[in-house]
Structure 1
Amino acid sequence: MNGLKTGSVVFEHVRKTFGSFTAIHDLSLTIEPGTLVTLLGPSGCGKTTTLRMLAGLEHPTDGRILIGGKDVTMLPANERDVSMVFQSYALFPHMTVLENVAYGLESSGLRKAEAREKAEAGLALVGLAGFGARLPAELSGGQQQRVAVARALVLEPQVLLLDEPLSNLDARLRRRVRTEIRELQQRLGFTAVYVTHDQEEALAVSDRIVVMVEGRIAQEGPPRALYESPASSFIADFMGEANVVPCEVVGVQGAEAVVRLGSLEHRVPGRAAQPGPAKLAIRPNAIRLAPADDGGLKGLVRHAAYLGDHVEYEVETEVGTLYVVDPDVERSLAATTPVAIGLHNRGVAIITA
């Protein structure tokens, strides 16, 4: 392989309709070269339609799509300089691993010997040197996924597209393969657009995450920003569980706001908060449980579940029932135990929508 190209991706006011149904509403998005950007959202949010338009498998109703500065809006898939890694891997079962990886190269007119040489290099890139003579059925699910990635990379696309690439793997294998994909992308520096509905997966692999809801961008940004500063109740709950409860902003001091949550006051990042009623997103692990006489928000344990490395509680309070994840497995608070609730500095954010 001579080295991968890398290109930017730009969606300019893209809209996609299917009959009377609008799947994508006025999408504008820029993906910088050499970054991995994940399109994340629930089923039906438009993320797969967006990826298919980028791949050339669908065409926009309105707007433009540019790859590496070139308008590809109406170009067919084979003229877009992108490669797709499919959810199902789409490997040919009767071909060897090497033949699978070389297939696209040979189909594009490359001499067989040169295609095989590039295919061997592609397998080495993904840690499968020496596996070329095997059939796909002789590989594990994770190895088959790496073959699919190698087959896409040897075409040296400007942009690599990954459509739910880990959904067919078990949980432990997903963690390992997502790490391999991320390390490979960072090492080679190619541009990647990754589609998933799995929030943890998106947090683990992305430079930026674009959360989509009903064909629109709900919020975009680095993983930490979306997790720690959600812009809405939906984002707070979708990007990992969150308790969303009413609060009162009682003061704003520089970059911080003072909020009142029942009988508890707490400082949080201000995010241009205005005094008055608001909502507070509280991550389950941002809640601190203390003896009832410690002050703070009063609560009553309604349910406790020991899960090995943490204990989960449901605690009834004056602002609603809170879901709590407590790493202190040495203590176990039984149901009906009265507690005082405090908050850690991280994992608490004011939301505005």
Structure 2
Amino acid sequence: MIAKKAGSVVFENVKKTFGAFTAIPDLSLTIEPGTLVTLLGPSGCGKTTTLRMLAGLEHPTAGRILIGGKDVTMLPANERDVSMVFQSYALFPHMSSLDNVAYGLESSGLSRKEAREKAEEGLALVGLAGMGGRLPAELSGGQQQRVAVARALVLEPQVLLLDEPLSNLDARLRRKVRTDIRELQQRLGFTAVYVTHDQDEALAVSDRIIVMKEGVIAQAGAPRELYEAPASSFIADFMGEANVVACEVLGVENGKARVRIAGVEHSVPAGNREKLGAASLAVRPGAVTLSEGRGEGLSGRVLHSAYLGDHVEYEVETDVGTLFIVDHAVDRILPAASDATLGFKTRGIAIIDS
């Protein structure tokens, strides 16, 4: 039922200003029906402004917004066929879960009986069958969030909007609820636009991620593409931590690149890189090998080591700066001030422009 109404979203050269401040200079993007797309970025990057314009809570200064092929640029929020799940849940504390879910249906003209029947279906959809009589205060944070999702879904919107929906949950519950949301979206096939600043959350739930910086799209693509082939040092560091070091690309052959780092040559994945010369290497903390003593490779000195159960975190000083390294070899821990030799694995490394 929801999948049949899943709508596309199109931003055409959208600009948004607040007085003299330009929050969104020129935004064009397309979201395909039935996909979950995440707007990701640091605070102030424009992701929430973009979502609010899509919801009708803000209007563009210029450009067009289309939902399901219909121009909704200047339509009010209640005429856009979208539903929004807020960070705060926004449940009525004096109403039962069932009444919270039924409220929007009754407001749209359904009889109380029909609204409550659909509300019960909605609660069952999110795994809360039989819990309609409970007040929000009698539910856990995760259950309250699912009530908020059910309330949005029963309106059968073309697009479901989620604004930092898990930020009020603890880490373990956040993992559970994000899995629930993703499973529900894939099962029902609705279009969803999801806003978060949490990279792990974005990687876990998205068909596509749009990373924003200062109101523009820094990079867009599938989660794996953004993580394994970042287009810039900003993306590399934002999509999971990365060490960015200067290098020189000496040659590319058979998917491997020969690079020089601080006078030492290494073989690393080339990705789509063909250009030779000065570049940077984005290296994930887990993509560095660490061995004790001096050897063939990049020399370093351990500044700090911390045992964290299944891995050890190191800070190692090298000729290209201090590198953060995650090593799962917990049977031997290199102490501070010890010499070390660093190498690189075949994954978790990307060559980017300087």
Query: Which residue number in structure 1 is paired with residue 327 of structure 2?
Result: 326
Letter in 1 for 2:314: Y
Query: Which residue number in structure 2 is paired with residue 21 of structure 1?
Result: 21
Does the residue aligned with 1:265 lie in a helix, a strand or coil?
strand
Distance change >3 Å, CA 289–CA 313, structure 1 → 2: same
Contact in 2 for aligned 1:254/1:270 (Cα 8 Å): no
Count of aligned residue pairs for this structure pair? 353
Contact in 1 for aligned 2:5/2:190 (Cα 8 Å): yes
Alignment partners' CA distance in 1, 2:319 and 2:339: 13
After TM superposition, the structure 1 = structure 2 runs for residues 266-305 of structure 1, keeping only pairs within 5 Å, are 266-305=267-306
Deviation readout 1:80-133 (Å, 9 max, x if unpaired): 110000000000001000000000000000111111000000000000000000
Query: Which residue number in structure 2 is paired with residue 60 of structure 1?
Result: 60
Deviation readout 1:151-178 (Å, 9 max, x if unpaired): 0000000000000000111111111111
Alignment partners' CA distance in 2, 1:218 and 1:65: 20
Contact in 2 for aligned 1:7/1:32 (Cα 8 Å): yes
Alignment partners' CA distance in 2, 1:39 and 1:308: 33
Alignment partners' CA distance in 2, 1:264 and 1:321: 19
Alignment partners' CA distance in 2, 1:66 and 1:264: 51
Contact in 2 for aligned 1:242/1:284 (Cα 8 Å): yes
Query: Which residue number in structure 2 is paired with residue 311 of structure 1?
Result: 312
Contact in 2 for aligned 1:96/1:136 (Cα 8 Å): yes
Choose 288-297 or 78-87, whichever is displaced more.
288-297
Deviation readout 1:39-91 (Å, 9 max, x if unpaired): 00111110000000000111111111111111111111111110000000000
Letter in 2 for 1:301: V
Distance change >3 Å, CA 36–CA 170, structure 1 → 2: same
Query: Which residue number in structure 2 is paired with residue 261 of structure 1?
Result: 261
Query: Which residue number in structure 2 is paired with residue 199 of structure 1?
Result: 199
Deviation for aligned residue 1:4: 5.5
Query: Which residue number in structure 2 is paired with residue 222 of structure 1?
Result: 222
Query: Which residue number in structure 1 is paired with residue 162 of structure 2?
Result: 162
Contact in 2 for aligned 1:306/1:329 (Cα 8 Å): yes
Deviation for aligned residue 1:35: 0.5
Distance change >3 Å, CA 92–CA 345, structure 1 → 2: same
Letter in 1 for 2:224: R
Deviation for aligned residue 1:258: 1.7
Does the residue aligned with 1:346 lie in a helix, a strand or coil?
coil
Contact in 1 for aligned 2:292/2:338 (Cα 8 Å): no
Contact in 1 for aligned 2:273/2:351 (Cα 8 Å): no
Alignment partners' CA distance in 1, 2:318 and 2:241: 18
Alignment partners' CA distance in 1, 2:259 and 2:335: 30
Deviation for aligned residue 1:245: 0.5
Does the residue aligned with 1:44 lie in a helix, a strand or coil?
coil
Query: Which residue number in structure 2 is paired with residue 127 of structure 1?
Result: 127
Q: TM-score, normalised by structure 1?
A: 0.98
Q: Does 1:179 align with 2:194?
A: no
Does the residue aligned with 1:169 lie in a helix, a strand or coil?
coil
Contact in 2 for aligned 1:15/1:61 (Cα 8 Å): yes
Deviation for aligned residue 1:273: 3.7
Alignment partners' CA distance in 2, 1:255 and 1:143: 48
Distance change >3 Å, CA 227–CA 45, structure 1 → 2: same
Does the residue aligned with 1:180 lie in a helix, a strand or coil?
helix
Deviation readout 1:210-260 (Å, 9 max, x if unpaired): 000111000010011111111111111111110000001001225442211
Contact in 1 for aligned 2:8/2:191 (Cα 8 Å): yes
Alignment partners' CA distance in 2, 1:17 and 1:217: 17
Contact in 2 for aligned 1:4/1:188 (Cα 8 Å): no
Letter in 1 for 2:344: L
After TM superposition, the structure 1 = structure 2 runs for residues 98-117 of structure 1, keeping only pairs within 5 Å, are 98-117=98-117
Distance change >3 Å, CA 4–CA 100, structure 1 → 2: farther
Q: What CA RMSD, in Å, does the superposition of the two structures yield over aligned residues?
A: 1.2
Alignment partners' CA distance in 1, 2:307 and 2:293: 21
Structure 2: 5+ residue stretches without partners: none
Contact in 2 for aligned 1:273/1:350 (Cα 8 Å): no
Letter in 2 for 1:315: V
Deviating beyond 3 angstroms after TM superposition, the runs of 4 or more aligned structure 1 residues are: 1-4
Alignment partners' CA distance in 2, 1:243 and 1:110: 56
Structure 1: 5+ residue stretches without partners: none
Query: Which residue number in structure 1 is paired with residue 86 of structure 2?
Result: 86
Contact in 1 for aligned 2:7/2:34 (Cα 8 Å): yes
Letter in 2 for 1:279: S
Deviation for aligned residue 1:267: 2.5
Deviation for aligned residue 1:2: 7.3
- Percent identical pairs in the alignment equals 76
Query: Which residue number in structure 2 is paired with residue 243 of structure 1?
Result: 243
